[in-house]
Amino acid sequence: MDETTPPATATEQEASLLDQARDALSDAGDAIRDAVDGVVDAAKEHPAAAAAIAAGAAAAVAGAAYGISKLREKDTADS
């Protein structure tokens, strides 16, 4: 900014920040879309591996849920 440029008003600064946030959100959306496309393509090329990964993830979630339920049972019994 040179000496002839007046300082930005609060409204102008807010508009600039809003524009930056919109640009960042758009970029993030593009990156997510590209990542999802890559995952879908990989799953189509290797369906057995994709199924195995999904089963492993489901087992991990189920194991964590079971472990949490056991910890909660123990806390309830100790009370």
Examine the pLDDT at 14 and tell me if it is beyond 90. Answer: no
d(CA 38, CA 31): 11
| Tens-digit pLDDT profile for residues 18-35 | 999 999 999 999 999 999
**Which candidate, 8, 5, 6, places its Cα nearest to that of 16?**
8
CB half-sphere exposure, 37, CA atoms < 13 A:
6
Report the share of the chain in percent with pLDDT over 70.
Answer: 89
> How much of the chain is helix, strand and coil, in % rounded to 5?
85, 0, 15
pTM (predicted TM-score):
0.53
